[in-house]
Amino acid sequence: MTEAIAKLLDQVRAAKPLVHHITNYVTVNDCANAALEIGASPVMADDIDEAADIASISDALVLNMGTLNERTVTSMIAAGKSANAAGVPVVFDPVGAGASGFRDRTAAKMLNEVKISVLRGNISEIRSVSGLAAETKGVDASGTDIARAKEAGFTALELARKLGIVVVISGAEDVISDGNNIVYIQNGHPLLGGQTGTGCMCSTLIGAFCGTARDRPFTAAAAGMLCMGVAGEMAFLNAKPGNGSFRAALHDALSRLSADNILKMAKIREA
């Protein structure tokens, strides 16, 4: 898996996949920059008059519920269906699932009407989507659910089997499953949790890898999470104390990330 991800990183940089986002306005700039830094080309088109058209010509589509409203829900569904028709992989980030009825209904609608390739969220969001007991803390995982992290592998495996997709649960240890296999990634740094948008950026990175390896969503999902984790470690080594300098260093690290960094620093356990 580590060698496959290292090769895929070089392939993304060579292919420069177009990644269409309908994401939240809090993190849209970070996501666009993350796409550029990993080697992809970002486009953010959320108006109903063009969302479907842009999705059809893209290499991947990333849908994010962070700042949800009725207008963007309509655009996300239209873009998702257009991507499906064109064979474009769709990454869905159910931000805040479990926090409100509106978010729960939207997540269910998305999973019912759009064929998703990769579902990525924190433990609270994924437990909520799975129909398990969950205690969200706004758009963050709750302490109660974080304490259930040891169950994350089983949760990801069962949901992946149920939906026939790749499921990613991000946390101190990231978990990725396609319903048959599970990968655990232990790369990262605690300062990543102090930054707005690192989860959304993970979904962007997964989109970039999915756009380059359409037939390998499991590897693509693991690649996105591993690259963020390794970049976080690299950023900490070069940053001054504090969230602001770490944020800049994280973007620098993503732009400098190489296959050699992946091979040397990856902490992956396959099951």
Per-residue pLDDT for the chain (271 aa), expressed as one digit of tens each?
A: 999 999 999 999 999 999 999 999 999 999 999 999 999 999 999 999 999 999 999 999 999 999 999 999 999 999 999 999 999 999 999 998 988 999 999 999 999 999 999 999 998 899 888 876 445 544 444 444 444 556 788 899 999 999 999 999 999 899 999 999 999 999 999 999 888 899 999 999 999 999 999 999 999 999 999 999 999 999 999 877 688 899 999 999 999 999 999 999 999 999 8
The CATH number of residue 109's host domain is 3.40.1190.20
pLDDT in tens, 206-218: 999 999 999 999 9
User: Which letter does DSSP use for residue 190 in this model?
Assistant: G
> In this structure, are residues 266 and 230 in contact, taking their beta carbons and an 8 Å threshold?
yes
pTM (2 d.p.): 0.92
What pLDDT, in 10s, does the model give residues 48-100?
999 999 999 999 999 999 999 999 999 999 999 999 999 999 999 999 898 89
Q: Are 235 and 244 in contact (CB under 8 A)?
A: no
184: containing domain: 2-270
And the tokens for 194? 């102090």
Of 105, 88, 87, nearest to 96 by C-alpha is 105
Give the number of residues written for the chain: 271
Token pair of 4 as six digits: 């496959």
User: Beta-strand (E) ranges in the chain?
Assistant: 18-22, 41-44, 60-64, 90-93, 118-122, 166-170, 174-177, 182-185, 268-270
- Number of domains, the chain: 1
Q: For tokens 């499906």, what's the residue?
A: 84
Q: Is the dihedral of CA 152, 156, 158, 162 positive or negative?
A: positive
